[in-house]
Chain A
Amino acid sequence: MRNAVGAVHTVLLLGGRSEIGAAIVRRLVRDGARSVVLAARDPENSLALRSTVRALREAGATEVAAIGFDAADPASHAATVAEAVARVGDLDVVVDAFGVLGDQAGYDADPVAAAESVTVNMTGHVSAGLAVAARLREQGHGTLVVLSSTAGARVRRANFVYGAAKAGLDGFAQGLGDSLAGSGARVLIVRPGYVRTQMSAGVDPAPFPATARQVADAVAEGLRVGASVVWVPRKLRYLFAGLRVLPRAVWRRLPR
């Protein structure tokens, strides 16, 4: 159960290898979470996952389970959620953090790879998000944290395949949050800008970069006050309020 000051007991991380996802779960454990399920592709053979498990135990989690999860296989997502419930009971917080970045030039050259990235970054979140929402509705409480991105706030020429998938995901998460109003369950949309991680190591930092830890702190604060959207860092919200209305001719000439 979420308590009056935003702490929870159980967490499911969809995308167990995600650096940002792991940082969020670590923060939630520091705040009192005790049972964690990490859902990831090929969980037995991931060093990153193993070190996350260790870090969570050290932070105070009493139960950390790793289960299989394939973002590109929507048919399996309901079963993944059911398995997590079987392990820890009610899902107090589900962190929806899986995704692939890729680069635009590569996608331009390989349309099939581009479509596959959208399958993970958008379609996979639809099936997983709806499966999670069904469970949260049934239990009458719980928060789904969706990792969106400023890349989807206004899609840029420089990474429009990734940005389009994030725009779709963000719209889906908004609609899902509205559909859950009054159910006791809710959706928290997280819109970070550039975050320094292994996934983004090959990309030049954008203005106002953040760390995974800052994203985690923002999520914890969002859970505490019951927010529906958080931007990381917060000033991006105001920056994008301006960028969203920039004339198209100017927008497409921006360097990145």
Chain B
Amino acid sequence: MRMERRLLTGWGRTAPTLATVARPRTAEEAALLLRQAGERGAIARGLGRSYGDAAQSAGGIVIDCADLAPGFRLDPAAATVTAAAGTSLAELMRALLPRGYFVPVTPGTRNVTVGGAIGADIHGKNHHADSSFGAHVRSLRIVTPGGGLRTVGPDRDPDLFWATVGGMGLTGVITEATFGVVPVSTARMRVDTDRTPDLDATLDLMSTTDHRYRHTVCWVDLLARGASLGRGVLTRAHHAEVADLPRSARRDPLRYAPAGRAAAPPWAPPHLLNRWSVRAFNAAYYAKAPRARRGEIQGAASFFHPLDAVAGWNRLYGPRGLVQYQFVVPFGEEDALRRIVGRLAAEGAASFLAVLKRFGAATPAPLSFPMPGWTLALDLPAELPGLARLLNALDEQVLGAGGRIYLAKDSRAAADAVHAMYPRLAEWHAVRTRADPAGVLTSDLSRRLML
């Protein structure tokens, strides 16, 4: 088993801490690591795409799941895949799409693992139609410090299963999962694009048309002020049928070739992304978007994962990194959403990746983030003066509206705020204590938020 001492951060590159990184190859080796972990504890890590401190454990052991018996198998009759926890969605898409299947849920990057997808209960552009990743999991294998290796599912120890979905790795180390996949006839998307002039128009168009599309998402310009506040570019799509494709592409409709990756420079100066550069980018992006375009055919990679085309884009935020803020407020709390968007615009908080989305049904998981309502995700430079106060104020608005923030994105919230946002925390904690009576599973996130 490979081991090394290494500084780790999340994708936001803030708050590095030192841990012993171990790469077990089998569930037995993972169980051994949990038994040997000292009082500093242990936590699993996948591809490190959580923005904050979810997959690091200062002074402890970080179990890198990349070598956990890599590989997966497709069961075409049941339309399910059984994959090792360290398998990335990128690998799955590469192998599954040519065979006519798509992953049930993908976030804005395909560089996440199956284990991480379950631990964070990730969502994608199809949440309003298909819920989150956990809703598609039929069973999973997990090593817990208290009970060793076991198999759980919605019908088999459902308490532990749902505590693990969205449980941020704090119930055990997931080693393998079986989940449903979606049959598709092409590797392309049929996309409708609309430009909206302001926030009300954005909300209105999304509310009235979301149900007609499988995948929808809206990019929002948070630096446009006044009458243009909350203007956006809404994209809605279905998996394309063969007949939708241009004639030349019909011969090989399942051909999937994600664009080669450009790389961000290894170092960018502080303050590169500031309110002026981002405002210019946003204005150009908005101006370039079509007012209304129907039926455009796009590759799955460019539709779902535009940022994956630039490796290490997080480095553009400079040496001090970025903070991502994502919250959800229930339907009916549109005023809270408007207040938050207004506040961000008034502060000139430079976010060039603000994404608005409507969530559908939640899973039964007590720590899962999505709930029916509006979710907004934005990136901000960590060096922004006054950021701590701004985001604490937003937390209060979110909490007051009965909403919550996403733990996989969080790197700065206060423990009491998060506890109030997740009222089922005690219920979750009881299951965690059963799975891990000695409290071995520890991440910087769990220390910071006292989970």
Contacts and interface: CB of A to CB of B under 8 A. Distances in A.
Interface of A: 1-7, 9, 31-32, 90, 138-141, 182-185, 224-226
Contact of A4 (B58, B323, B414): B323
Contacts, number: 75
B18 A4 contact: no
A26 B57 CA distance: 28
Given A141-B17, A224-B388, 12 more contacts: A1-B447, A1-B448, A4-B53, A4-B321, A5-B391, A90-B58, A138-B59, A140-B18, A140-B40, A140-B60, A184-B7, A225-B383
B15 A2 contact: yes
B contact residues, range: 20 to 34
B18 to A, nearest CB: 3
Nearest to A32: B414
Contacts of A7: 388, 412
A4 B40 contact: no
Interface string B336-368: 000000000000000000000000000000000
A2 B382 CA distance: 13
Given A1-B58, A3-B411, A4-B12, A139 B40 contact: yes
A184 B320 contact: no
Nearest to A1: B448
A53 B411 CA distance: 29
A222 to B, nearest CB: 13
A29 B427 CA distance: 30
Interface in B41-68: 52-53, 57-60
Contacts of A141: 15, 17-18, 58-59, 444
Interface of B is mostly: loop
Contact of A182 (B15, B18, B40, B388): B18
B323 A5 contact: yes
A34 to B, nearest CB: 8
Interface in B1-29: 7, 12, 14-19
29 contacts: A1-B15, A1-B53, A1-B58, A1-B444, A3-B14, A3-B15, A3-B53, A4-B323, A4-B411, A4-B412, A5-B323, A5-B387, A5-B388, A7-B388, A7-B412, A9-B415, A32-B388, A32-B414, A90-B447, A139-B58, A139-B59, A140-B17, A140-B18, A140-B40, A140-B58, A140-B60, A141-B15, A141-B17, A141-B58
A59 to B, nearest CB: 14
Interface of B: 7, 12, 14-19, 40, 52-53, 57-60, 320-321, 323, 382-383, 387-388, 391, 411-415, 444, 447-448
A226 B19 CA distance: 20
Contact of A226 (B18, B320, B444): B320
Best-buried of B12, B19, B60, B412 by chain A (most CB within 10 Å): B412
B40 to A, nearest CB: 7
Nearest to A62: B416
A226 B7 CA distance: 15
B447 to A, nearest CB: 5
A138 B323 CA distance: 27
A218 to B, nearest CB: 14
